[in-house]
Amino acid sequence: MDSATDQNDSPTGASYAAAGVDIEAGDRAVELLAPLAGKATRPEVRGGLGGFAGLFALGEYDRPLLAAASDGVGTKLAVAQAVGRHDTIGRDLVAMVVDDLVVCGAEPLFLQDYIAVGKVVPEHIAEIVSGISAGCVDAGCALLGGETAEHPGVMEPGEYDVSATAVGVVEEAKVLGPDRVRSGDVVLAMASSGLHSNGYSLARHVLLETVGLPLDGHMNDFGRTLGEELLEPTRIYALDCLALANECAVHTYAHVTGGGLAANLARVIPEGLTAELNRGTWTPGPVFRTIATLGRVSREEMEKTFNMGVGMVAVVAEDDAERAEAMLTARHVDCWRLGEVRLAENDDEPRAVLAGEHPRA
C-alpha cells in the first residue's frame, strides 16, 4: 500500500487527469451551469446548487400523490453530435419526462439531469443544460440539480448521453386515467413539432445510411436543412395540459412516444372500450412522408415507430369537447377532433384503432 501511494504521489505516477478525467474542466462546467439553473426555478426550491441533494418544499395538499418519470433522448443524440449543435437536446429531454407526468394530471415540480460524456468540454455541457433550463421554464418546473460524469475509455471524446428524472404532484381525487374514460368521450389530438424524440434509429437508417442525404443539405420539402429538421425540439405540452384539465372535463391524456399513436393511447383506454381514430382528420408532416417514401416504409411500420404528427392526445367528455378544443386553440396549440371512444365490439378488439386514409398533402 505504501509503495502504491508513493507512486501515485510522484510527478511521473498515474493520476485521474492522465486517465482521462479532467476535474478542473468539470468545475468550470459547473460554474457555467449555475446561472442556467437559476433561470429554471420555483418558489418551493430551497438552498442552491453545490449540495449533495436538491431541496424542494412540497406545499399544501390534502392527499398528495407524487409522480415520477425518467427518460432519455435516444439516438437523436447522434444527429446533434454530427451537426455539432447541442442546445436543442435539452428541450427534448425535458419534454420526454414532464409530458409523461401530466398524463395522470400531475404538475411537474422539478427535474434532475444526468449527462455522461467522453470528455468534459464545459461549453458543450453549458449548451446542453441551456436547453434543459429553457425546457424546464416552458414546463413550469425547477431544474433542481444534476450530474455530469466523464467516461474516458468508455465513450469517445465527442460522445455524450443524457437522461433525466422529473417529479410531479397531483391530488389523489384529481388523478386522471383509464377509470375515468367513458363510451362517447371525444379524443382530441395535439400536433407534434415533428419527429420529437422517437424513431431516430429508423429515420437515420433511411435518410443518412441508406439514401445518404447530407445533414447540412437543404431540403425543399422542409424549407431548411435536414439536420435542422431532425433537431427540431420536442414540443412541451405540460402547461397546456394542466390548464385544460383545470377548466374542462379531461378524463386522461396519452403522450405519443415510442410505439406510436394507437399503442400509446391504448394504454389509457380501459377494458371493454375502444378509441376509434380517423386518419382523415389530419395530414402527417413532410418529414414523415419523406421517410416513408425514400425508405419504402410501410404504413404499419411508420405508425408504430413515429408519432405521425400527433404528440399528445386528450380524452375529454363529449359535452366539453368544443370548449376544450377552443381553449387549446387559444393557447396556440394546433388541435383537432381525432375520434371518439365507443364500446368494443368483442373482447379481442384493440383498445385503440386507426381507420380511414390521410388526406393528400
Tens digit of each residue's pLDDT (9 = 90 or more) over 115-169: 999 998 888 888 999 999 999 999 999 999 888 899 988 999 889 999 999 999 9
User: Given this model, what pLDDT does residue 25 score?
Assistant: 56
Within the chain, what is the greatest distance between any pair of CA atoms?
Answer: 79
User: Given this model, what pLDDT does residue 36 score?
Assistant: 60
Do 233 and 322 lie in one domain? The reply is yes
CATH code, 149? 3.30.1330.10
Q: What percent of the chain has pLDDT over 90?
A: 76
User: Given this model, what pLDDT does residue 6 score?
Assistant: 44
Q: How many domains does the chain have?
A: 2
Weakest-pLDDT range from 81-95, 117-131, 178-192, 203-217: 117-131
User: Tens digit of pLDDT for each residue in 121-133?
Assistant: 888 888 999 999 9
Mean pLDDT, range 340-345, rounded to an integer? 96
Among 232, 228, 234, residue whose Cα is nearest residue 196: 234
Do 225 and 286 lie in one domain? The reply is yes
Q: Which domain holds residue 115?
A: 22-48+63-174
Q: Where are the alpha helices (DSSP H) in the chain?
A: 2-9, 23-39, 76-83, 89-101, 122-139, 200-204, 226-230, 238-247, 260-266, 286-295, 299-305, 321-330
Weakest-pLDDT range from 16-20, 102-106, 157-161: 16-20
Q: C-alpha grid cell for residue 157?
A: 471524446
**Sign of the four-CA dihedral 310, 313, 317, 323:** negative
User: Given this model, what pLDDT does residue 2 score?
Assistant: 43
Among 348, 224, 330, 237, residue whose Cα is nearest residue 286: 224
Question: Residue 149: phi, psi to the nearest 5?
Answer: -120, 130
Do 215 and 85 lie in one domain? The reply is no
Question: Residue 264: phi, psi to the nearest 5?
Answer: -75, -35
Whether residue 15 lies inside any domain: the answer is no
Higher pLDDT, residue 53 or 75: 75
Domain boundary pick from 115, 141, 174: 174
N residues, the chain: 361
User: Given this model, what pLDDT does residue 42 score?
Assistant: 77
User: Given this model, what pLDDT does residue 211 score?
Assistant: 96
Weakest-pLDDT range from 54-58, 147-151, 228-232, 309-313: 54-58
Q: Is 337 exposed, middle or buried (0-12, 13-18, 19+ CB in 10 A)?
A: middle
Q: What is the pTM of this model?
A: 0.88
CATH code, 309? 3.90.650.10
Whether residue 110 lies inside any domain: the answer is yes
Do 198 and 169 lie in one domain? The reply is no
Check pLDDT > 70 for residue 10.
Answer: no
Q: C-alpha grid cell for residue 245?
A: 384539465
Do 284 and 344 lie in one domain? The reply is yes
Whether residue 229 lies inside any domain: the answer is yes
d(CA 254, CA 306): 14
User: Tens digit of pLDDT for each residue in 213-222?
Assistant: 999 999 999 9
Helix, strand or coil for residue 357?
Answer: coil
Q: Where are the alpha helices (DSSP H) in 54-197?
A: 76-83, 89-101, 122-139
- pLDDT band, residue 38 (cuts 50/70/90): low
Q: What percent of the chain has pLDDT over 70?
A: 87
User: Given this model, what pLDDT does residue 207 score?
Assistant: 98
Mean pLDDT, the chain, integer: 90
